């Protein structure tokens, strides 16, 4: 007589369950919640905040595991881990579960050896306060991970979960995080296991080795506790992460993970859609459109073109540039001199400017302002822009490089300050961020060239290949000003700028300040958008501080990168603008009570 896989008792599961029961694992009864794990006699589940981690080896049979996973709550990502016969568990709920396309890796803690390398520019420590928790959620959101309810970190009563963070020594900002689960403390695991989850590094982090340091510190914590191994699950195509784990001594084991089919996991079980070839700026908008049931047609993935259709209304877009932006508004933004004149007439403060490529005119202008900016009248992504030029610099060379981008050259007074980008959609502020130029940090061993190459690789990985540091005249000029050449070794802990402009495409980083930007700066950005009559725009200001009212206008970008401002709701507001009827009814009703141009707190 043959027993179907869905009902056959798994001897491996039964043996492990019996061994656990012999060691005293007992079910919780009623509303008992002494710890975040659930054990109703059929298996152990640990609540990790983002979802439940179900230990498949503790369940009586695969069907019991499937039944537990079907109870996943909304907005959560449960994981069935240590599944050795996934085909049997899938047979119990084939329409609801899927096999996670991830590999399981293991580190043998009995042979692991800690690194003697000193951390450069950051410290790894335990999470200690609410600010740490909020920073961790910010990193989760930036990495498209499920965020954790803030109070979860403080109301858990067991010691099975470990939260480590990496803190920037100079700024105090949290730049990385990792979570560990101690299986011995969770359910008296006879195998003395532990697992690693939610390793995430801030995309704007400037120091190398943060991810490696977090993994090593977690391994050392579990090694000191007497755990036998540290396991983790990593997507099969995450080559960068896999290379790190294998470098540290992790090796692949034949253990699998199950997940439930839900909107969070859709990419994993539905396969790549037509939008998979789009760049991050277009994909962010397309993903939001699909969530609302808006039809998406990718017109040209390489160029970032797509068409959105909803309720008889159709919009052709190129990233954040849509048919709602007129050709006139686009041409105004394309010509920086015209943009300046338009916003100046609207009462926006602008720097002194001269349109010329005559070296004598530039010399006279330089004498008046001491330091200047030379840039092409047309162009984007910081190409051909030279910032902070003085009489000692190659001004003629800067003019020639600008002329390679545009036949007209602009000369501006240089204004010292922070580069502030404000995203205005439908004449309301949606996001604000300070952009900082690329900087390298020395380790006492590596040359400037090696440090730049490493930073450039990290920025490219964090932005889907959109951000890289070029080896050009501007990089050489920034290094010369700092007193370094490409082959010089930078002393340990010393930082030097390698670009003068904060453009993201040349390695700059972006730091959200939406909740703190001064109302005067918001007002200037909205006035500039109205002067140009453009519904979606990125306004660039130079400010002494985003907390104060002082500014000068630099330029307007008609196709701002909305993905750079996550987790602010840039894509949501963009789709609201294009398809207002796609906004949920309750949200539309609430918005009618708001003032047309709300000022931030």
Structure confidence by residue, pLDDT tens digits, 180-238:
999 999 888 999 999 999 999 998 888 888 999 999 999 999 999 999 999 999 999 89
pLDDT at position 328: 96
Specify the pTM: 0.76
Per domain, the residue ranges of the chain are: 107-238, 277-322, 352-414, 438-499
More confident residue, 446 or 107: 107
> In whole angstroms, what is the distance from residue 145 CA to residue 4 CA?
37
Tell me whether the CATH fold assigned to 107-238 matches the one assigned to 352-414: no
Which strand (E) or helix (H) includes residue 282? helix 280-291
- Whether the per-residue pLDDT at 585 is higher than 70: the answer is no
pLDDT at position 118: 81
What is the DSSP secondary-structure string of 552-599?
EEEEEESS--GGGGTTS-HHHHHHHHH-GGGS-HHHHHHHTTS-SSPP
pLDDT at position 592: 56
> Which residues are paired to 195 by β-bridges?
181, 231
What is the DSSP secondary-structure string of 138-186?
HHHHHTTPPP--TTHHHH--SSSEEEEEEEETTT--EEEEEEEEEHHHH
Q: Round the average pLDDT of the chain to a whole number and report it.
A: 85
- Whether the per-residue pLDDT at 49 is higher than 80: the answer is yes
Give the model confidence (pLDDT) of 482-496 as tens digits.
888 888 888 887 888
53-57, 199-203, 584-588: which range is least confident on average? Answer: 584-588
- Whether the per-residue pLDDT at 477 is higher than 70: the answer is yes
What mean pLDDT do residues 73-97 have?
92
pLDDT at position 343: 95
Domain 107-238 sits in which CATH superfamily?
A: Gcn5-related N-acetyltransferase (GNAT) (3.40.630.30)
Please classify residue 189 by burial: count the beta carbons closer than 10 Å to its beta carbon, then call 0-12 exposed, 13-18 middle and 19+ buried.
Answer: buried
What is the DSSP secondary-structure string of 315-366?
EEEETTEETTS-HHHHHHHH-HHHHHHHHHHTT-----EEE---HHHHHHHH
pLDDT tier for residue 472 given thresholds of 50, 70 and 90: confident
CB 195 within 8 A of CB 179: no
> In whole angstroms, what is the distance from residue 459 CA to residue 466 CA?
8
76-80, 301-305, 462-466, 508-512: which range is least confident on average? Answer: 462-466
> In whole angstroms, what is the distance from residue 553 CA to residue 524 CA?
8
Tokens 């907390």, residue located: 547
More confident residue, 333 or 152: 333
- Smallest CA-to-CA distance from 330 within 533, 552, 541, 553 is with 533
List strand residue ranges (DSSP E) for 40-140, in order: 44-47, 52-55, 79-83, 97-99, 102-108, 122-126
352-414: CATH, from 3.40.640.10, 3.30.2350.10, 3.30.1490.20, 3.40.50.300: 3.30.1490.20
pLDDT at position 33: 35
Give the model confidence (pLDDT) of 156-190 as tens digits.
656 799 999 999 988 899 999 999 999 999 888 99
Percent of the chain with pLDDT over 90: 48
More confident residue, 384 or 105: 105
> In whole angstroms, what is the distance from residue 199 CA to residue 440 CA?
23
More confident residue, 205 or 461: 205
């Amino acid at each position: 007589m043959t027993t179907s896989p869905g009902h056959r008792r798994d001897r491996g599961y039964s043996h492990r369950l019996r061994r656990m029961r012999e060691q005293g694992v007992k079910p919780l009864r009623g509303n008992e919640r002494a710890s975040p794990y659930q054990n109703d006699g059929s298996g152990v589940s640990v609540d990790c905040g983002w979802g439940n981690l179900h230990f498949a080896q503790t369940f009586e049979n695969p069907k019991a595991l499937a039944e537990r996973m079907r109870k996943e709550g909304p907005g959560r990502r449960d994981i069935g881990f240590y599944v050795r016969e996934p085909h049997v568990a899938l047979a119990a709920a084939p329409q609801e579960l899927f096999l996670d396309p991830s590999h399981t890796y293991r580190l043998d803690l009995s042979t692991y050896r800690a690194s003697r390398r000193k951390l450069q520019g950051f410290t790894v420590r335990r999470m200690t306060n609410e600010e740490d928790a909020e920073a961790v959620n910010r990193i989760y959101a930036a990495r498209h991970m499920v965020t954790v309810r803030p109070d979860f970190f403080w109301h858990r009563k067991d010691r099975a979960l470990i939260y480590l963070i990496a803190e920037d020594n100079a700024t105090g900002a949290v730049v990385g995080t990792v979570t560990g689960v101690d299986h011995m403390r969770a359910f008296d695991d006879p195998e003395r296991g532990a697992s690693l989850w939610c390793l995430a590094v801030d995309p704007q982090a400037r120091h190398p080795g943060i991810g490696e340091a977090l993994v090593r510190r977690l391994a050392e914590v579990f090694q000191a506790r007497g755990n036998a191994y540290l396991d983790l699950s990593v997507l099969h195509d995450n080559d960068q992460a896999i290379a790190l784990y294998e470098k540290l001594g992790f090796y692949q084991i034949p253990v699998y993970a199950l997940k439930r089919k839900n909107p969070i996991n859709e990419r994993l079980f539905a396969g790549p859609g037509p939008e998979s070839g789009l760049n991050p700026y277009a994909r962010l908008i397309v993903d939001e459109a699909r969530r609302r049931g808006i039809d998406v047609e990718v017109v040209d993935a390489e160029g970032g073109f797509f068409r959105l259709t909803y309720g008889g209304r159709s919009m052709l877009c190129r990233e954040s540039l849509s048919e709602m932006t007129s050709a006139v508004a686009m041409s105004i933004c394309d010509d920086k001199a015209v943009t300046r004149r338009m916003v100046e007439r609207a009462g926006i403060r602008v720097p002194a400017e001269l349109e010329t490529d005559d070296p004598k005119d530039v010399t006279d202008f330089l004498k008046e302002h001491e330091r200047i900016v030379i840039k092409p009248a047309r162009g984007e992504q910081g190409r051909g822009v030279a910032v902070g030029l003085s009489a000692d610099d190659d001004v003629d060379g800067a003019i020639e490089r600008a002329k390679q981008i545009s036949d007209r050259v602009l000369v501006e007074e240089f204004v010292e300050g922070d580069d502030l980008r404000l995203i205005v959609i439908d004449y309301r502020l949606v996001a604000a961020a300070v952009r900082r130029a690329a900087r390298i940090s020395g380790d006492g061993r590596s040359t400037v060239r090696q440090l730049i190459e490493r930073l450039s690789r990290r920025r490219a990985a964090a932005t889907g290949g959109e951000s890289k540091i070029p080896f050009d005249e501007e990089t050489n000029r920034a290094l010369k000003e700092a007193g370094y050449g490409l082959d010089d070794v930078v002393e340990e802990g010393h930082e030097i700028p390698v670009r003068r402009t904060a453009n993201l495409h040349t390695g700059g980083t972006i730091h959200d300040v939406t909740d703190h930007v001064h109302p005067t700066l918001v007002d200037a950005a909205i006035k500039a958008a109205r002067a140009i009559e453009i519904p979606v725009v990125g306004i660039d200001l130079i400010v002494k501080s985003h907390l104060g009212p002082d500014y000068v206008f630099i330029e307007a970008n008609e196709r701002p990168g909305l993905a750079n401002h996550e987790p602010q709701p840039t894509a949501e507001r963009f789709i609201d603008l294009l398809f207002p009827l796609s906004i949920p009814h309750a949200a539309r009703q609430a918005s009618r009570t708001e003032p047309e141009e709300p000022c931030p707190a």
